[in-house]
Amino acid sequence: MLPPLFQAIGSDRHLSYDELCADIGEHPCGREAWSLYRTGFGGYCETRLDPQGHRLVHPARHVGMLESLRDERVLVFGTGPSALAAVGTVARMRDRLRLFTSPRGAEVLAACGIVPDLVVVEHRTAVDAHHAARHLRDANADPLGTASLVAAEWRTPRALLAGVPLDRLYVPDPLPTWGLWPATAVALAAAAGAARIGLLGIDLGSARQPDPVFAPLARLLGLLARLVSCETIDCAPGAARKPGWSVEGLEAMASDGSLARLRVRRRPAPTTAERLGAARQTLDRLRPLVERARHILTLGLRARAGWHVAGLDDAVSEILSWAGDRDARIDLQEGLGLSFLPRFWRTGIDSDLGRALWRPLVLAMHELTAQADRLDAMTKRVAA
C-alpha cells in the first residue's frame, strides 16, 4: 500500500513540513520526502495547476481507483533504450505481464501489436500537454483509443482523449502524484496493493552515467521503494540505478497464471455544469483579492515606467502574506493555475531589489489577474 505522505506532499497544499505533519501526522520517511520535495522539485510540483482550464471540458464520466491488485505484478513500461530492445520479449510474454505505460509507451507497444492494461496520461506542464496533443494529431494512429483503460488527470487536453471510448476512461481519484508519470504509475499500482512492481524503459541514463536531468525522478522512485510494502525491481540491467530497486530479468515480472481484466472502482465524475459552478465559486471567493492584485499591478507598471512609486516594499509584503490564508492559497494555485506567486511564497522576494521590486510584483500580479480573466472567459464560453 501507499501511505498518505506521498500524495499529500505532491499536492502542493503545504508550505512547511510542520504544516504537512499537522494534516497527516509524522512518518518515518517524512523529513526525507520533504527534503526531496524542496531540493528536487523546488517545493512546488505544480501537479494541480490547470491554467488552460482543461478540467472544464474533460470528457470523463467517471473518477475512481484501481480495484485490488493483491498478489499481482505490475510492469511500468517506458520508452528508454531498454524498453525498445526488449519489446519483442514483452510481446512474447504479453499474456503473463500486467502493463502500465504512458501515451508514448503505448505507441511503442502498439507497433508490436501490444495493448497495455493501463495508460497513465499525465504531463509535467501545460506546454507538455499541448505538445502531446499535437503529436497525437499528427500521428497515423491513436494508441489511446485501443487501450484497455486510460487514466487521465483532469488537466488533460480534451483533444488528447477524443478517441478514447468513455467506458475505458477515468480520472484517478485520489491521484498520488508528484507530476512525473513513471512515479505516478508506480504509486497507482502500490495504492492498489500490487505485490511486485517493475520498471522497463525508465532508464534515466545508464548505470555508468546516470543523466542528471532525471535525478529528481530517480530520487523519487527511490523514495517510493521505501514507502511501499511491495517488491520493487528494475528490469533494465544497464539503466541508471534507483535506490531500493533490485535488478532482475523481465521473467521476474511474469505472472504465474492468467491475468484477469484490470478494473476500476468507479464513481460518477462531476458534471460539466458542476465543474463550471465550482470555477465560478472560486472566482467569487477571489474577487476582492483579484481587485487588489489589479491595484498592485498598476503600481508595479508605474514603477517600471520610471515613476517614483512609494510602497513597493509594502506591496511585496502583502502578496507574500496571502499565503497565510490557506483557502485562498489553494484557490489561487488550483483554481487559477498560478505558478509565479506560489513560487515566491516558497522562495521569498529579495528586498534588496529596491526600486526593481516592480519586477516580481508585475510578474506575479499580471499572471494572477490574467488568469482570473481567462477563467471567467472560459466559464462563459463553455456554458454558452
Task: Summarize pLDDT for 257-279 with one digit per residue, the tens.
Answer: 889 999 999 999 999 999 999 99
Domain assignment present for 31: no
Q: Tell me: the pLDDT tens digits for 344-374?
A: 999 999 988 988 999 999 999 999 999 999 9
pLDDT attached to residue 125: 83
Q: Tell me: the pLDDT tens digits for 159-189?
A: 999 999 999 999 999 999 999 999 999 999 9
pTM for the full predicted model: 0.95
Nearest-angstrom CA–CA distance, 259 and 283: 47
Domain assignment present for 19: no
- On whether both 260 and 280 belong to a single domain, the answer is no
Nearest-angstrom CA–CA distance, 142 and 363: 39
pLDDT attached to residue 130: 77
In sequence order, what are the residues at sequence separation of 6 or more whose Cβ sits closer than 8 angstroms to the Cβ of residue 131? none
Percentage of residues in the chain having pLDDT higher than 90: 90
Domain termination residue (choose one: 233, 268, 303): 268
Domain assignment present for 3: no
Domain assignment present for 211: yes
Burial label for 236, CB within 10 Å (0-12, 13-18, 19+), is buried
- On whether both 62 and 101 belong to a single domain, the answer is yes
Domain assignment present for 82: yes
**Domains of the chain: total:** 2
